[in-house]
Amino acid sequence: MKKILLFAGLLTSFFTYAQDFNRNKMDSLFALIEQHNRGMGSISIFQSGEEVYQNSIGYASVADEIEAVKNTKYRIGSITKMFTATVIMQLIEEDQLSLNTTLDQFFPEVKNADKITIKHLLKHQSGIFNFTNAPDYATYMEKPISKETMVKKISEFDSNFEPGSKSAYSNSNYVLLTFIAEQIDQSTYGEIIEKRITSRCNLENTSVGSKIQPENNEALSYNKSADWESATETHMSVPVGAGAIVSTPEDLNRFLRCLFKGQLVANKSLEKMMNIENGLGIGMFQVPFYNKKAFGHTGGIDGFQANSFYFPDEKTAISYTSNAVDMPVNDIMIGVLSIYFDRPYKLPTFEPNVEISEKTLKNYEGVYASTDLPIKLTITKREGSLIAQGTGQPAFPLTAVSNTKFKYDQAQLKIEFIPGENKMVLEQMGKRYELEKE
């Protein structure tokens, strides 16, 4: 459910939009990802309301050898927020709410509820702490939870800032918006989505998720260790309208087309949703690709990641849903857009893993710490490779670049061991840390 930064740093320049894209190159991109075991998922591209490209790679269930197909359903994480925001804008158009309605009319127990408006919730300007960042989140995320308990948890947090003074992404905002919509509509979130969105847009494979059932064409999710390992499975009563929807990339593109054609909200409402403040709109944000602009959202929950964006000027919708990620989804999307919009792009070359002796790997095992970091990093050897795990965080695999250098592309992480000194140097996003083995 965390927002993923997309297409950062791309320079704008003129390019000629082309409908006749290089299909073979697009096929090759996904074939390479699959052949090198760097990801699993499905892609769909719509042009002017029609699907012009679709591909699925990997498995919906690795253990059962159920392959991913066109209609495989994936959890879409925070892309759910686009659906929730659309519902709220519909309620506003029906005069059942306003952007200036304050939260104390529904949940007065939340800190600053009398100052927090619907607009603040929609645009992450409320100052409400993000409950998924709380230390105890992992203790209950896989269990059913009541509305009352969720509101109580959110109400116990102190406010991060004065409502409306700035923006800070928080899943708590959209959980509260879900409960407000349910109270006004006198329906469950699932019923609201079906009545107000999926039935109007003919979305046959979109709904609020429940226990994942691969036999019903639903994908399980995975994290990469030495191989793909089953990820956690968040109970959908926890994220609700912040991240509980399951869908296919085709359905997501239909939703985008429906929304931007004015079939779900009026143009004035859509304009408000597209109005960007501090990088965020209402249920969406804007991303650049050279001289083009797209609107949409990203999503991540358990081992699932998804992107769904619409280019209004080109009438192009592109959605990618993944249940296993080893090549950053951002890199995949840059490849997809570059090929589709005929920009220069070199297909990835996945370097074979450097073979390192068991003795050398064993020597790197241990717990590393630094006074500059709040967590410790544990390194363990597993099946001829190294696994790293930060305190309280999921384990992740390290790819060997040389006898002493390793990397983890998903987090832009690089590690160099200094075996003679029992140290490592860790680099991430321009920052450098020196850790010592305990």
Measuring CA to CA, which residue among 354, 377, 379 is closest to residue 364?
379
Residues 416 and 285 placed together within one structural domain of the fold: no
User: Quick check: 395 pLDDT over 90?
Assistant: no
In a domain, 221, yes or no: yes
Average pLDDT over residues 351-360: 83
Q: Are residues 177 and 318 in the same domain?
A: yes
Same domain, 202 and 318: yes
Distance CA 49, CA 315 (A): 8
Asked whether 143 and 235 are in contact (CB, 8 A), the reply is: yes
336 & 363 share domain: no
pTM of the shown model: 0.83
Q: Does 11 score more than 80 pLDDT?
A: no
- The rounded percent of the chain whose pLDDT value lies above 70 is 95
pLDDT score of 2 more than 50: no
Of 225-229, 269-273, 292-296, 371-375, minimum mean pLDDT range: 225-229
Distance from C-alpha of 320 to C-alpha of 332, rounded to nearest angstrom? 9
Q: What is the largest CA-CA distance in the chain?
A: 70
The CATH number given to whatever domain includes residue 391 is: 2.40.128.50
Q: Does the residue 349 lie in any domain?
A: no
Residues 331 and 388 in one domain: no
Q: Is the pLDDT of residue 13 over 80?
A: no
Spatial contact of 313 and 15, defined as CB atoms under 8 Å apart: no
Q: What CATH number should be reported for the domain holding residue 137? A: 3.40.710.10
Are 375 and 232 contained in the same domain?
A: no
242 and 288 part of one domain: yes
* Residue 70, phi then psi, degrees to nearest 5: -55, -40
Given pLDDT bands bounded at 50, 70 and 90, which one contains residue 309?
A: very high
For residue 283, the enclosing domain spans 23-340
pLDDT band at 18 (very low <50, low <70, confident <90, very high): very low
Q: At what angle do helices 249-260 and 80-93 cross, to 10 degrees?
A: 30
Residue 28 · residue 315 · CB < 8 Å: no
End-to-end CA distance of the chain: 34
In 293-405, alpha helices (H): 329-340, 358-364
Backbone angles phi, psi at 339, to 5 degrees: -65, -45
Neighbour-count burial of 347, counting CB atoms closer than 10 A to its CB (0-12 exposed, 13-18 middle, 19+ buried): exposed
